[in-house]
Structure 1
Amino acid sequence: MTTVTTRTVEYPADNLTMIGHLALPAGTGRRPAVLIGPEGVGLSDVERHRAEALAGLGYVALAFDLHGGRYLEDPKDMLARCMPLLADPGRMRGIGHAALDVLRAEPRADPGRTAAIGYGTGGAVALELGRDGADLRAIGTVNALTTGRPGEAARIRCPVWAGVGSEDPIMPPAQRDAFTAEMEAAGVDWRLVVYGGALHAFHHPTVGHTVRPGVGHHPRHAQRAWRDVVALLAECLPVAD
């Protein structure tokens, strides 16, 4: 069985001390590296386990922090933190670049072969890294069909894969249309998968606290979305034997 090692990493971003979760694959050589951004509630065991799963596939993976080590269970607290963040591309890029710098500084990571995936707010951060011209091999997002400032999508240098639930009221059809129009106008290599019957955050296991209306787990589509993300990485960021 592949041995994965993990550790927490602290780093500054957004005037906070972020606490990320780094997962390393077996061996000693350099490997392609993946950033993983969490939903708006913040970094949880869901993203930590995904980092470890990617490390098991041979990637160096960093699940990054959004809120300085906090997990915002109360939807009001989450919205109070995330809505201003989502309205400020500069702040999102700062959070993303800080995490990307940590990932690329890891000796096991190949700094020239990195990708960014994310969910909700973390996916928006991944997209803003692309719009800022970051050197990424792939961007993958679920529940994050955010659009950027005019013209900046043309700076995306890699394929973009996006997934969304068909019944997601937070990312409705009009938002899907705006996102795909932005990608198409910029000449991005993009794909969008709409998972039938799924709500917002369908990929995320059921939690024991209050969630926003329109949020719900869809186990079957959650597995499919994860397989789609892994396939994106295998295509754009293959792990050499």
Structure 2
Amino acid sequence: MTTITRRTVEYPADGLTMVGHLALPSGHDRRPAVLLGPEGTGISDLQRRRADALAELGYVAFAFDIHGGRWFSDPEEMLARCLPLLADPDRLREIGTAARDVVLAEDRTDPERIAAIGYGTGGAVALELGRAGVPLQAIGTINGLITGRPGEAAHIRCPVWAGVGSEDPIQPAAQRDAFAAEMQGAGVDWRLTIYGGAGHAFHHPLDELPDQVLLPGVGYHEKHAARAWRDVLGLLGECLPSSN
């Protein structure tokens, strides 16, 4: 296994002190980088492990924060924080830009090779970076099929992959159709994977959420969780290959 370096990074965004997890591959050369955004509940050990796994594959990986270090176990508190965020593309962009600035400040980062991957609210952040015209090599969003302001998807200049569960009540068929129409209308190179039988946040094992109160339609799907991660790696392998 590749030896990686991990460190916690505090940085300002959205009026908060964010607490992110930076994972660096072995060596001293410049490497492609991946921004990894969390779901609406906030950054977790699962996201940190995903960043570590990406570093083992040769990426500079930054699991960024969206709530100032908080994890929301109460869905009402989470929604009170996330819904205003999701309704304000400029705030999402500020959060994403601050995370990108952390990655750009890292000497190991190749500034010309950065991708953004996110889950739920973190996926909306990744999409808004693209809609803002931020140069990225790939965007991936899982359970975060949020449509943007009219015309702004035309600023996306990289492939977009999205994944969603077929039984997700938070991202239902109408939302998927609206997202597809937005991407297609803007001429984006896009793909949508629908995981049959999966609900919302199907990628997060429930045994890691002992105190979490779940919204209806939220549930773990072991097979599709593994498949979605392989799809993320496939996107990166196509658009942001690492030599490791």
| TM above 0.5 | yes
State the partner residue of 1:177.
177
Residues 11-64 of structure 1 show CA distances to partners (whole Å, capped at 9, x for unaligned) of 100000000000000111110000000000000001000000000100000000
State the partner residue of 1:82.
82
2:222 corresponds to 1:219? yes
Measure the CA separation in 1 of the matches of 2:158 and 2:148: 16
How far apart are 1:5 and its partner, in Å?
1.1
State the partner residue of 2:129.
129
Q: TM-score, normalized by length of structure 2? A: 0.98
State the partner residue of 2:61.
61
Q: TM-score, normalized by length of structure 1? A: 0.99
Measure the CA separation in 1 of the matches of 2:109 and 2:45: 22
How far apart are 1:4 and its partner, in Å?
1.1
Which stretches in structure 1 are left out of the alignment for 5+ residues? none
Which stretches in structure 2 are left out of the alignment for 5+ residues? none
Residues 171-204 of structure 1 show CA distances to partners (whole Å, capped at 9, x for unaligned) of 0000000000000000000000000000000011
Measure the CA separation in 2 of the matches of 1:240 and 1:82: 37
How far apart are 1:138 and its partner, in Å?
0.1
The one-letter amino acid of 1:177's match is D
2:241 corresponds to 1:238? yes
How far apart are 1:143 and its partner, in Å?
0.2
Residues 47-103 of structure 1 show CA distances to partners (whole Å, capped at 9, x for unaligned) of 000000000100000000001011111101100000000000000000000000111
The size of the alignment, in residue pairs, is 241
Q: Residue 228 of structure 1: SS of its match in structure 2?
A: helix
Contact kept? 1:161, 1:232, Cα under 8 Å: yes
Measure the CA separation in 2 of the matches of 1:56 and 1:48: 12
Mapping 1:93-112, distance limit 5 Å: 93-112=93-112
The one-letter amino acid of 1:120's match is G
2:47 corresponds to 1:47? yes
State the partner residue of 2:24.
24
State the partner residue of 1:155.
155
Measure the CA separation in 2 of the matches of 1:205 and 1:111: 33
Residues 195-237 of structure 1 show CA distances to partners (whole Å, capped at 9, x for unaligned) of 0000000011112121111100000000000000001001000
How far apart are 1:240 and its partner, in Å?
2.9
2:220 corresponds to 1:229? no
Contact kept? 1:30, 1:109, Cα under 8 Å: yes
Contact kept? 1:113, 1:137, Cα under 8 Å: yes
Q: Residue 23 of structure 1: SS of its match in structure 2?
A: strand
The one-letter amino acid of 2:175's match is Q
Measure the CA separation in 1 of the matches of 2:6 and 2:151: 39
Contact kept? 1:201, 1:217, Cα under 8 Å: yes
RMSD: 0.6
Measure the CA separation in 2 of the matches of 1:54 and 1:38: 15
User: Which deviates further from its counterpart, 160-169 or 205-214?
Assistant: 205-214
